[in-house]
Homo-oligomer: A and B are copies of this chain.
Amino acid sequence: MRMLDLEAAGIGEGISEVIVTTKSAAGMPNAAPIGIITTVDDDGARTHQVKLYRGSQTLANVLETGTLAANVTTDAVLFVETAFDDLSAEYFTEFFGIPVLRKTTAWIIFTSELVEEKEVYLRFQLCPQAVKINRKEVKAINRGLNAVIEATVLATRLRISTEKREREEPRKELERYAAIVAKCGGWREREAMGMLKEKFLHGAE
């Protein structure tokens, strides 16, 4: 068996926040921000898993095709866009027949095997099939980028929860993230937070 080095492609131990791309049986591409869960056992063997939420297009596609791609990126805007919108066709290219995002730094193709069914999600074991590193870089930690990711997680959860009374506290939390972005972010983080605030306020109506 050929071993693929996912660590070099950015997928380390813990949860790697990536953009997962899939296609339907009919060939329609989809992209969504999802965490790849990597555990390392005592012998150093790595296991990759993913939880896909019921009702999501990613889950529907993975059930149809048994395949997904992890796109590694630190672009704040991509996380917000794929959390809320459908990306247009020009964002995508193909790698081993699977849609992937052109501007991301690495691609990993996984096949999936259903291992657990829960009320809100299905859990899959992932087996890496192909890896491509498009670009390596050096990037200092930016707290603005971190705040966009946390705010996206928050906004995604809010979309799932529909109770209005739950909205007051999250709104304050979003303001705290927005303040960190205003202080620490670059232009991509500011753009992402602007989009997120718009979605959030619109969604609250």
Contact = CB atoms under 8 A, between A and B. Distances in A.
A140 interface: yes
A18 to B, nearest CB: 5
B14 A144 contact: yes
Given A13-B187, A15-B143, A146-B149, A8 B138 contact: yes
B143 A150 contact: yes
Contacts of A145: 141
B13 A72 contact: no
A142 B17 contact: yes
A34 B7 CA distance: 28
A136 interface: yes
Given A14-B186, A14-B189, A133 B138 contact: yes
A121 to B, nearest CB: 15
Given A12-B186, A13-B186, A184-B14, A150 B146 contact: yes
Given A35-B184, A183-B15, A184-B15, A10 B146 contact: no
A47 interface: no
A140 B10 contact: yes
Contact of A140 (B40, B72, B187): B72
B186 A140 contact: no
A90 interface: no
Contacts of A129: none
Nearest to A38: B186
A99 interface: no
Interface string A125-149: 0000000010111111111111001
A24 interface: no
Nearest to A35: B184
Which 10 A-B residue pairings sit nearest by Cβ, starting from the closest? Answer: A13-B186, A136-B136, A16-B140, A146-B146, A10-B138, A14-B186, A15-B184, A17-B141, A10-B140, A72-B140
